Amino acid sequence: MTIFSNVEHQKRNRQIEGETGVDLKIDEGFFLIVLAMTDANPKWTAKAQKAFNELNRLRNAGAQHGRLDRQWAELFADTIVIGWHGGLDDDDNLKPFGGLDASGDPVAFSRDNCVAYLVETDDASEAILEHCRNTKNFRARRADLIKDTAKNG
């Protein structure tokens, strides 16, 4: 039985958290589609603890910063980032991702390309950590606001 009729916006949306995700703006033309770091995300639940143990082991063994960055990037590519795009046009169509290859063409999303992007950039992994731990970023109302950001740049 529901007592409160005005708290729907305070409830978690497990489908958004673990299946559909939300847009995370890294920079102009650089949006990652991300899932939450919660129990609603089965890939995260299956891999996170083992990855944390490995990261702690590497850190305690004095691993280079680049090695740790790659471990984080692989964890995020395997469990959190499910796609990318460059924002939305006026008709809600996805624009190409802002990352370009040596020929000047947009880089297609793949796990390996995602790992490379996260390793090569300084802001993306930190943004993922900050954004994806907060379930409020995956509520239906908040997801709509994030979509509006993708549309309006």
Contact (CB, 8 A) for 94 and 84 = no
> Residue 78 pLDDT > 90, yes or no?
yes
* Predicted confidence band of residue 83 (pLDDT cuts 50, 70, 90): very high
> Residue 88 pLDDT > 90, yes or no?
no
pLDDT of residue 53: 93
Structure tokens at 121: 């950039």
* Tens digit of each residue's pLDDT (9 = 90 or more) over 96-145: 999 999 999 999 999 999 999 999 998 999 999 999 999 999 987 655 65
Nearest to 21 by CA among 140, 153, 148, 152: 140
User: What is the rounded CA–CA span in Å between residue 153 and residue 147?
Assistant: 10
Nearest to 98 by CA among 90, 111, 108, 89: 108
Integer angstrom CA distances of residue 41 from 13, 129, 132: 11, 15, 11
* Residue the block writes with tokens 């994030």: 146
pTM of the model: 0.86
Cα of first residue to Cα of last residue in the chain, in angstroms, is: 42
